[in-house]
Chains A and B, each alone.
Chain A
Amino acid sequence: MRVGVVVFPGSNCDADVKHAVEVVTGHPARFIWHRETSVDGLDCLVLPGGFSYGDYLRTGAIARFSPVMQAVETFARSGGLVLGICNGFQILLEAGLLPGAMQTNNVMQFRCQETYLRVETVNTPFTCLAQTGQVLKIPIAHGAGNYYVDQATLAELNGNNQVVFRYATPAGDVTAQANPNGSVENIAGICNRERNVLGMMPHPERCAESILGGTDGQVIFRSMLAWWTENRGVALAIGTAMVGDPAGAHPTGAVPADSGAKGCCGRRDGKGGDRGEC
């Protein structure tokens, strides 16, 4: 799996993402400078966190005009995997690759803290090794993570199972107290209709090694690898490349994070840092 990490002026989680991808998947990642115009030869792209262009205007509003974004869009439209984390999510929203917008946190302050995310769907290349209803402990660090979307689009997101993560209590209950920033319906991450583009505010790269106090972030990178392994060379046809969403088979509720998740191709995946080979 060839992973590209896009570096904008002001990105500051680029090296962290590269490190985490390499440690968790064992596959190398490389940086893509924002002035590059081609992402040929890559299997997935990560837009990392940071403060692109200082975020002095709206978060991500200038980065979307970087030369590389044309290539990112083409890559995404042709089914390539695109993961936007934090500022990367904000850029994907501004670029129109995901619906909705970010507002300043309702607490009007930057927040760096642990959050608990309930996995709402495993029918994505980014969560295919997780379980629906599983609770992941993944930290946030942002000043503008208050996701907003109009009612009609929200209904569509829900209808198409595009909400991937919601802020929840450690037990998996989606409550107002568990919402750190005021996001509509506690939304922490969404995917596009085609399910190959994921934006999430929490930082999985910050909890992918046990020395950092948690490994729940690994499942995202392992899922990507597992999905790529199964679908290598095949562009993502809408919905069909995925196994059926087992949401119905796993009633909502807390599942221990390291209980061993169901593989995308039906096998059990090992604990810890094991590769998600299917």
Chain B
Amino acid sequence: MVSVSREAWKEMGLTAGEYERIKELLGREPNYVETGMFAVMWSEHCSYKNSKAVLRLFPTKGPRVLQGPGENAGIVDIGDGQAVVFKVESHNHPSAIEPFQGAATGVGGIVRDVFTMGARPIALLNSLRFGNPRNPRVRYLVGGVVSGISFYGNCLGIPTVAGEVFFHDSYEGNPLVNAMCVGLIQTDRIARGAAAGVGNPVMVVGAKTGRDGIHGATFASEELSDASEDRRPSVQVGDPFMEKLLLEACLELIDAGLVVGMQDMGAAGLTSSSSEMASRAGTGMEIDVALVPRREPGMTPYEVMLSESQERMLVVPKQGCEDQVRAIFSKWGLDAVVVGRVTGDGQLRILENGQVVADIPALALTEHCPVYNPVWREPAYVATAHAFDPASLPAPADLGAVLLEILSDPTVASKEWVYRQYDYKVQINTVVPPGSDAAVLRIKGTNKGLAVTIDCNGRYCYLDPYTGGAIAVAEAARNLVCTGAEPLAVTDCLNFGNPEKPEIFWQFRRAVEGMSEACRVLETPVVSGNVSFYNETNGQAVLPTPVVGMVGLLPDISKRATLSFKQEGDVIVLLGETFPELGGSQYLQTIHGLTTGKPPALNLIRERAVQQATLAAIRQGLVNSAHDLSEGGLGVALAECAINGGMGAKVVLPGEVDPLTAIFSESQSRILLTVSPGNLVALENLCHQHGVPYAVLGTVEGDRLVAVDQRGQRVLDLAVTEMTKRWREAIPCLIA
């Protein structure tokens, strides 16, 4: 074996210390192929070497958890022999330089993670972050990402039912594209990514292997710069038709009971799928790359092992069943080729026409990567930001004009321009479509429903990552509760800058601590997730963005709520309390262009009480509408209820704070409910039972949103039609 030059392993992203460790593990110098395999498996993207220690803070267990982190996706029991399988993953770097294919293959990858466990994917969600849409390149990125998601998800026939789009200058060069997939499975059909059974064949199924995406995982583990355009060949190309065939064939394979283990070939392709499957089962594997179906001739073992060609899976079927496997795949017009077998010696041995080209202990690739504990330090900006007093700003004269301005901010405005490009109805389960707090899907053949949401406010996380992380969890749960669902569990996608910078690692650590605390109190364990570091352009990091995906259960889907006002004369009740908390708010951002201040505080005990009271009210059938208060506070929440219901309201603002604060403060743990007058007493009793403060604000009436202060002075008076126009037309005007 020929040893590798210093330039080569450095080029592949390994450090000198890591290279030494590889030599120790092998007891010799690695060759070129082996060095490449270590480099991708020990990249941050695959190894979590910088984040592993911190991620152990997450609570991951609960009575419903069937599979926590460590597999292709998490699994949560929903009763009656059924379970939900879900995970979120980032595809930020590829999308930054090739938005269409980057976003498309992001969808493809997360869908494979779910059906590889045997689940039928029933919903897609996405969380997107972009810079200022007035910049033409940002508009190009928005258009490319949205059409990439549309292209891939629509073709697959999986509805894209929910998501969020958030704009902030920090994401200008490094957009975030996080895709989440939810699947449904019979608990007796769960497949796992383990290569058990010495002697069992190993098969490559699906698409042929080409030269695309080589070192994609390494690319994902470095900062972006002006030279990143050169990385375009690291971006994979998606074929959703191939994926649809692969999906149907794999589910048929599992139904036929032929599978021992199965895993998709995502980041680091054949290298990661083979080494991870062997490690999980405590076995080894022998693969001859000459047998892998190729898209082009002349590929080297290095290229085959590191290719990230899409729509491929590694399958370990039961011995003797190879022909049945081939028959199923041939029905769908796909390759299924035996490329090797499971061995008992723990080695991942790669051959080319029988000649050994790499021979590595599987565990060395998956488990023996050095774990780092990066240094962390609170950044200087935090204290400055917290010292800022929003009251020092000139108070706006016309609060109505301010509300219209915020409603037409693209972060708050209607996302219809985005989601009407996604097929959100296919599979005919979508009971609450995009545009609500959370989407609701029915589960055919039962009375149950699933609510799904994805959420994060990067401004809060920047200003106070602990509180911001906790709020991301609390708000996701609140979104689910507003539909009538009990929150079950979390998947997270932690998007941060370069962890080697102490200030960034502080953000990361504090955010995970905050999220963990919220997950514990709200009893929503983390069952899967993904870390995306190095989201920086030319040294500038994005806002810390720990995106939270959450799934909830409606035991009886007929007891559900949506946000729109339903009935003239209904009483509007605000659960929770409003404090002078304009720090980090949408008001500061939109009106003053500021990302500063101390973000709203979160009392998790109060949060839980508000959620439980709301859930009880919806399940008792008391509630006609429910909406969570978030960006833009009470003003935006009232406007959204009015716009979606096509009716106005008259409210008296809570008295403890001034009108500006009452309308735009983003105090947490608040939910806006409407009830028919006859149900008000029952709702009040529930609030008392749960120890939840509330205020009766007014009634649903007319075609204007009118707010008066405690003295009866009119501080807001807007036609619903005008708000609707500003809210609906903002994004099409800016982007189309």
Contacts and interface: CB of A to CB of B under 8 A. Distances in A.
B209 to A, nearest CB: 20
Contact of A211 (B420, B425, B557): B557
A13 B241 contact: no
Contacts of B421: 109-112
Contact of A12 (B426, B442, B557): B426
A139 to B, nearest CB: 6
Interface string B153-188: 011110000000000000000000000000000000
B157 A50 contact: yes
Given A51-B240, A109-B421, A16 B155 contact: no
Interface string B428-463: 101101000000001010000000000000000000
B430 to A, nearest CB: 7
Interface in A6-25: 9-10, 12-13, 15-16, 19-20
Contact of B241 (A19, A53, A205): A53
A64 interface: no
B332 interface: yes
A212 B431 CA distance: 5
A166 interface: no
B105 interface: no
Contacts of B430: 212
- The A contact surface, by secondary structure, is mixed
B332 to A, nearest CB: 7
Contacts of B154: 51, 110, 141, 143
Interface residues on A, range: 20 to 34
B431 A13 contact: no
A49 B159 CA distance: 14
Given A9-B245, A51-B155, A54-B240, A211 B423 contact: no
Interface residues of B, number: 30
Given A10-B244, A12-B157, A54-B241, A212 B420 contact: no
B241 A9 contact: yes
A141 B423 contact: yes
Contacts of B444: 19
Interface string A176-217: 000000000000000000000000000101100101110000
B420 A111 contact: yes
Given A141-B154, A211-B431, A206 B244 contact: no
Nearest to A50: B157
B428 A10 contact: no
Given A16-B426, A51-B155, A203-B425, A112 B420 contact: yes
A78 interface: no
A31 to B, nearest CB: 12
A12 B153 CA distance: 11
Nearest to B427: A16
Contacts of A20: 428
B95 interface: no
Nearest to A11: B157
A56 B433 CA distance: 28
Contacts of B240: 51, 54
Interface in B317-349: 332-333
B241 to A, nearest CB: 3
Given A12-B426, A203-B425, A56 B244 contact: no
B150 interface: yes
Contacts of A9: 241, 244-245, 332-333
B80 to A, nearest CB: 19
Contacts of A143: 154
Interface in B711-731: none
A211 B155 CA distance: 25
A13 B426 contact: yes
B150 A110 contact: yes
B239 interface: yes
B428 A205 contact: yes
A231 interface: no
Interface in A46-62: 49-51, 53-56
A20 B239 CA distance: 29
Contacts of A109: 147, 150, 421
A54 B156 contact: no
A110 B239 CA distance: 18
A137 B425 CA distance: 14
Contacts of B241: 9-10, 51, 53-56
Interface in A122-143: 139, 141, 143
A160 interface: no
B587 interface: no
Most buried by A among B332, B421, B422: B421
B506 interface: no
B505 interface: no
B424 interface: yes
Contacts of B420: 111-113
Contacts of A139: 425
A55 B424 CA distance: 19
A106 to B, nearest CB: 14
7 contacts: A12-B155, A15-B427, A55-B241, A113-B420, A141-B425, A209-B428, A213-B431
Closest 7 CB pairs of A and B: A12-B157, A54-B241, A51-B155, A141-B423, A16-B428, A110-B421, A206-B425
Interface of A: 9-10, 12-13, 15-16, 19-20, 49-51, 53-56, 109-113, 139, 141, 143, 203, 205-206, 209, 211-213
Given A16-B428, A19-B444, A55-B155, 6 more contacts: A12-B157, A13-B157, A54-B244, A110-B421, A112-B423, A203-B425
